Amino acid sequence: MESPRDRDLASIREARDAARHARAAQDRLAEFSQSHIDTIVQQMAEAAAAEAESLATLAVDETGYGVRTDKIQKNLFAARRVYAFIKDMQTVGVVRRVPERGVLEIAEPFGVVAAIVPSTNPTSTAIYKILIAIKARCAIVLSPHPAAVTCITTTAQLMARAGMAAGLPDGAVGWMRTVTLEGTQELMKHRDIAVILATGGMGLVRAAYSAGKPAYGVGPGNAPAYIERSADVGKAVRDIVTGKTFDNGVLCSSENSVVVDRAVADEAKRRFQSSGAHFLSPEDTDRLANALVTSQRLPNPELVGQSATAIASKVGLEVPSDTRVLIAELEGVGRTYPLSIEKLCPVLSFYVVDDWRAACERCKEILRYGGMGHTMSIHSRDDTVILEFGLRKPASRIVVNTPTTHGSIGLTTGLDPAMTLGCGGFGGNITSDNISPRHLLNIKRLAYEIKTVEASMTRDDHDSPGGVSAGAVERPQAFDSETLSGRIDAFLSTRRLTQPSPPISPPAAPPYGSLVAPMTPAMHTGLSPAPPDTSHAAAAAASPAEFVCEDDVRQAMRETRSIVIGEKTIVTPAARDLAEQHGVFIYNGL
């Protein structure tokens, strides 16, 4: 029988070998063209989608967590929705041109990624991390959770084979089979690792941040869901039950607490009960808390990802056979209220408050008790209250009138589709973004002189450096963005890094304004059915759109349409970046 020390040594050896192998592959991968990378990523995504069902079955069988049908949907989300989001993303060569400022941005891969994959969402997270890493031309080594080694390595093998058939270098997707804490730490600290992408418990995330490498780490969620008095209470309850029961609540962004205004609390309770929720008595609440919450204030692994009826049976609670969610009514948050933690199963804590101000404070308490910077939801039809929550809550994703589980990952919202969700400074993370290939790129900037030092100084002529009159200084040659772009593309073609360059766009629209007003179809009336045309005549003939998001730009690209924008058009940052890359905007009146 292998001793723990032998396993540690074997795990450390595997980590070192995989990191070295990945580093060798990285040198080749970094030279691939955009078209080559895109072909590889497409083949890997298709391979993962084709095996979504078998991988989901393997994950449930090995870990005992979650629901097979829901894990299929998560696998397809990673293989299809994430892929659809990243497939047209420019990650090679010149990715952005700002001609009016003489700046060109060039993408370089960050380097080898050490990816820590959890047992709660094993195959979907593996699919997602492999796709975003290779899209960024980063080799990747996976360290699976010890309870999910088989399903994670099977996923990695499947995608590696598909990628290699399309030209992916051997070793660009690697994995560890003998997994111990010592081996994982060795992987994260290895000199050939450039960046860490860690999803797991707080201990693991802290280890990632202490490894001496740049790291994206994501810990617990403990997301509250607030039902405000103006909400459609029926829909709010359906959304919360849907989010909490999806894959038996193992996603870190799933709802963990319900906070409801007293004015609609009775209606909310009735709605929950009719949706399959069972409200526990104080005695049953204590019994469940003793079984579910460990002395370390963590959820009991034996109950994680189990159904509500299975949990009740194991704990010794009598509940109806059709129970979907167990709800414990609590008066506070913290150590004396054990069920106020993140629970990773279909158990909700339930709080009644007087108004949105009290709800605001209660939600902050819940987030501070293990969910800082992660996710929450608000169900309301009052835009003023919604905006107040957006301004005041220590959460990076505040989803509105949708399940936190589905909204946070970008399934039911316009957020970037992702399985790793940054918690920002609130949660001790380096970013509050949904992680994408952009976070695995180094962006280099070529910045040409557009004015002389003397001309840029706010001095009188007699104060110019060296006594030289600023008016007498020879001016630099005018910045010719088209000529420069041609030279750049010609050079990149010698390294096989070029593809048709995104057209150079006029200056972007003014920064976007308020996003609290509800969107209506009228806001999209600026979509032009004609092919892209940046002429003044075409711009003058169409009405500018009132609001443009990234989905609008992608739809216009698919249909070879332009989008007319004007001085008052609200344009989201992601929409502007994508439109500038592909010349989608017509500028009316700018």
Active site residue ranges: 252
248: DSSP letter: G
Beta strand ranges found along 140-188 (DSSP E): 140-144, 173-175
CB distance 550 to 556 below 8 Å: no
Residues 6+ apart with CB under 8 A from 487: none
CA dihedral of residues 308, 312, 318, 324 (deg, nearest 10): 0
Nearest to 214, CA basis, from 233, 198, 230 = 198
CB distance 292 to 299 below 8 Å: yes
* Neighbour tally for 524: CB within 10 Å: 16
Q: Which two tokens stand for residue 464?
A: 């110019």
Nearest to 241, CA basis, from 371, 319, 347 = 347
CB distance 166 to 82 below 8 Å: no
Q: In what order do the strands lie in the sheet with 585-587?
A: 527-528, 562-565, 585-587
CB distance 238 to 227 below 8 Å: no
Residue 108 β-bridge partners: 442
> For tokens 């001609």, what's the residue?
99
Query: What CA–CA distance (Å, rounded) separates 320 from 335?
Result: 30
* Neighbour tally for 302: CB within 10 Å: 12
82: DSSP letter: I
Pairing of the two strands 585-587 and 347-353: unpaired
Nearest to 379, CA basis, from 234, 555, 231, 213 = 231
